[in-house]
Amino acid sequence: MASTRLTRQKQEFKRFLEVNRESEMTVAEMAEKLKENGSDMGIATVYRAVRRLEKEGLLVKTVSSGAGSTARYRYSSGDENIRSIHRVFCLSCGKAMDLSYNFTDKLEKSVSEVTGYSLCDHQIMFYGLCPDCK
């Protein structure tokens, strides 16, 4: 039955994201990895699932650098949404790491002074190559 298959794919996709929570992936990369894992989810199905999870706040779109950039997504387990995000991201393998080092209090203060905005949140992303890829 189609609905049973859909439910299974939904669970399969969430599990996949949890396993790969350290990675930021494009829809195409997700579809490829799922296929490698023996999934029958096609790219259209993955795309729809991504859109739905993005609305639910479980997937966060991260802007990739470079021309013709394709959107990458990372998995977010809800409570993460209210936390400021500082990450370092590998342009080669897509591995991303949270930075525990907090350097942003000063930065936020000066941005606030320069712009006159009262800030409530921010995202900072560093791009480069991870130790495995460099």
Binding residues for Zn ion, rule: CB under 5 A, are 90, 92-93, 95, 130, 133
How far is the CA of 85 from the CAs of 22, 33, 40, 106, 115, in angstroms?
Answer: 14, 26, 33, 15, 20
Alpha-carbon gap, residue 71 to 76, rounded angstroms: 16
Residue nearer to Zn ion on the CB measure, 11 or 69: 69
Residue nearer to Zn ion on the CB measure, 119 or 133: 133
Which phi and psi (to 5°) does residue 118 adopt?
Answer: -95, 115
Min separation Cβ 92 and Zn ion, Å: 4
Min separation Cβ 95 and Zn ion, Å: 5
| Nearest CA-CA partner of 92 in 43, 133, 51 | 133
Residue nearer to Zn ion on the CB measure, 19 or 133: 133
Residue 20 near residue 33, CB atoms below 8 Å: yes
Residue nearer to Zn ion on the CB measure, 33 or 95: 95
Min separation Cβ 25 and Zn ion, Å: 13
Min separation Cβ 14 and Zn ion, Å: 25
